[in-house]
Amino acid sequence: MKLLRAAVLASTILCAAACTSAPEQAAEGEARSSDGREYLSQPLVSEIYTADPSAHVFDGRMYIYASHDIDGPTPEDDLGSHFEMRDYRVLSMDRVGAPVTVHPVALDVDQVPWAARQMWAPDAAFKNGTYYLYFPAKDKQGVFRIGVATSDSPTGPFTPDPQPIPGSFSIDPAVFTDDDGASYMYFGGIWGGQLQRWATGNYQANGSKTDLEQPDQPALMPKIARMDGGMKTFSEAPRDVQILDEAGKPILGGDTDRRFFEAAWMHKYNGKYYLSYSTGDTHYLVYATGDSPYGPFTYRGRILEPVEGWTTHHSIVEQGGKWWLFYADTQLSGQTRLRNVKVTELTYNPDGTIRTISPFK
């Protein structure tokens, strides 16, 4: 494994500009997980470590906006201090299975006047001839905010706005554009994502460290705000996205197999809105469906069983008449903080429910 890490580092240096690799050639990690299970999919790239993949099809090509993991010195903790990412690099491919290009740095933390550290899970959108990169980072006070940067190319380089999006907070932006052209940002994450510190509406630096710690109360919900036409500001104050159980009651904080933790994603299938997210410390990707982008959403089940590694974060996108689940695990490194993006096909049952995927064969 040490040799593999040295090889990855060497190829990262060689690939300072742009590299292309076929996914089948990227399978340099252990063939099986530490407990002997065979992986369902292989890493999309091995030149760099990547996670939190937000995939989009722009002009017929698949682009993946991912976190760029690095090996920093900070010990692991419950607040994710060990995720010390500093920049973003876009991946792209013609279609799933085709060679993958690792593009040069699209945005670096040093270019963002308000950001200090921890460039976490990003997303992107395209509107009116401009590509928008949305990204969370801690500001100089250690508070997560969400920034926006623009480019005339889907791979950047992106130019950041000097301030974060007004009214934004917490992490994991996901921007969804509906059939009528209206765009919405979903965001939020508990524990290290700080959503619990905003429970009163203002940031409480000394508030609960991880979540509300009220297992019998409704869980914290992801936030939604409609974007204005310029795609750089919210046109309304962020509001809660309700996630309900089969009886129509809010999912409770103690229901850790089903409650929202982080990594919200929205897609539309056969006219229904599918809100998917990570349950964090129970390591599932799950989903809920509704009839409006605002919800409410009713919990439906699991999309992905736990991957190898602590985090699980995904996106769902259609290309070539098939639906794809992008996710990540730690196959290449065996370390929580050094993840690698993967993809597999996602399928629906005739009633619109999603078939649960195991990340192992």
Among 23, 80, 156, 359, binds ligand FUB (CB under 6 A): 80
- Point out the catalytic residue in the list 69, 262, 308, 329: 262
How many angstroms separate the first and last alpha carbons of the chain?
22
According to DSSP, residue 25 is labeled G
Is 52 assigned a catalytic role?
yes
Using CB under 6 A as the criterion, what x/- string covers residues 248-287 for binding ligand FUB? --------------xx------------------------
Of residues 360, 361, 342, 251, the one with CA closest to residue 306? 360
Nearer to ligand FUB, 11 or 336 (CB): 336
- Give the span between the Cα atoms of 313 and 172, in whole angstroms: 10
Query: Which of residues 66, 100, 112, 171 is near ligand FUB by CB under 6 A?
Result: 171
Is residue 174 a contact residue for ligand FUB (CB under 6 A)? no
Bridging pattern class, strands 243-244 and 297-304: parallel
Minimum distance between the CB of residue 83 and ligand FUB, rounded to whole angstroms? 4
How far is residue 61's CA from residue 154's CA, in Å, rounded to a whole number? 10
Residue 38 known to be catalytic: no
Q: Interface with ligand FUB includes 311 (CB under 6 A)? A: yes
CB nearer to ligand FUB: pick between 160 and 298: 160
Catalytic option among 28, 47, 52, 172: 52
Of 122-141, binders to ligand FUB (CB under 6 A) are: none
Helix-, strand-, coil-residue percentages of the chain, each rounded to 5: 10, 40, 50
Comparing CB distances to ligand FUB, the nearer of 90 and 298 is 90
* Single-letter amino acid code for the residue at 342: K
Residues 170, 148: Cα–Cα separation, whole Å: 14
Prior bond to 293 cis, omega within 30? no
Q: How far is it, in rounded angstroms, from Cα 322 to Cα 236? A: 34
CB of 52 to ligand FUB, least distance (A): 5
| Residue 172 engages ligand FUB in binding (rule: CB under 6 A) | yes
Number of Cβ atoms within 10 Å of the Cβ of 118: 23
Name the residue nearer to ligand FUB (CB basis): 137 or 317: 137
Q: Does 83 bind ligand FUB (CB under 6 A)?
A: yes
Rounded distance, CA 219 to CA 237, Å? Answer: 20
| Cα separation, 285 vs 303, whole angstroms | 5
- Using CB under 6 A as the binding rule, the residues of this chain from 19 to 78 that contact ligand FUB are 51-52, 67
187 Cβ neighbours under 8 A, 6+ residues apart: 136, 146, 168, 170, 171, 172, 173, 174, 222, 223, 238, 264
Find the shortest distance in angstroms from Cβ 118 to ligand FUB.
8
| Contact (CB, 8 A) for 297 and 242 | yes
Number of residues that bind ligand FUB (CB under 6 A): 14
* Residue among 313, 329, 330, 341 that touches ligand FUB (CB under 6 A): 313
Residues of the shown chain interacting with ligand FUB in the complex, contacts defined by CB under 6 A = 51-52, 67, 80, 83, 120-121, 171-172, 189, 262-263, 311, 313
| Catalytic sites, residue numbers | 52, 262
